[in-house]
Copies of this chain bind each other. A is one copy, B any other.
Amino acid sequence: MVKYNERALDATFHALADPTRRAILARLSLGQVSVGELAKPFEMSLPAVSKHLKVLEGAQLITRHRDGRVSRMEFNPDAMMGAVDWITHYKKFWESQLDKLARFLEDTKPTGEDNNGKNTKG
């Protein structure tokens, strides 16, 4: 009855447990950026950001597209799904909040209009 990939959950939750890394994901969710561009707004060295990227990459929350000497980082939210999936197991314990979430999801469900022509994957 091993339902979840514990190592993957470790990696995902650990990656998400740092504010810099969450900010990186937020930034990348707006579109691909180079490491240098990505690092600019952060008040830390480039190697520090590089390390964070490695953690995110290890958790498969981002992927790398090398283009010459520039590494363009891309958001890859699949691993987040795993986290949500795990948390959702506890849905019956927060039914009222769930109701709110369900309504929210229903509200924004892709019925053919919500997709802004963006490729959602690959």
A interface residue numbers (CB < 8 A to B): 3, 6, 9-10, 13-14, 16-19, 22, 25-26, 29, 75, 77-78, 80-81, 83-99, 101-102, 104-106, 108-110, 114-116, 118-122
Closest to A102 in B: B105
A90–B95 touching, CB < 8 Å: no
Q: What is the CA–CA distance of A77 and B98 in the complex, to the nearest angstrom?
A: 11
Copies of this protein chain in the complex? 2
- The secondary-structure label for the interface of chain A is helix
The answer to whether A97 and B78 touch (CB under 8 A), given A10-B18, A19-B6, A87-B84, is yes
Shortest distance between the CB of A22 and any CB in chain B (Å): 7
Cα separation A77 to B97 with both chains bound (whole Å): 10
A13 and B16 within 8 A (CB): yes
**A119 contacts across to B, CB distance below 8 A:** 89
Contact between chains at A121 and B89 (CB < 8 Å): yes
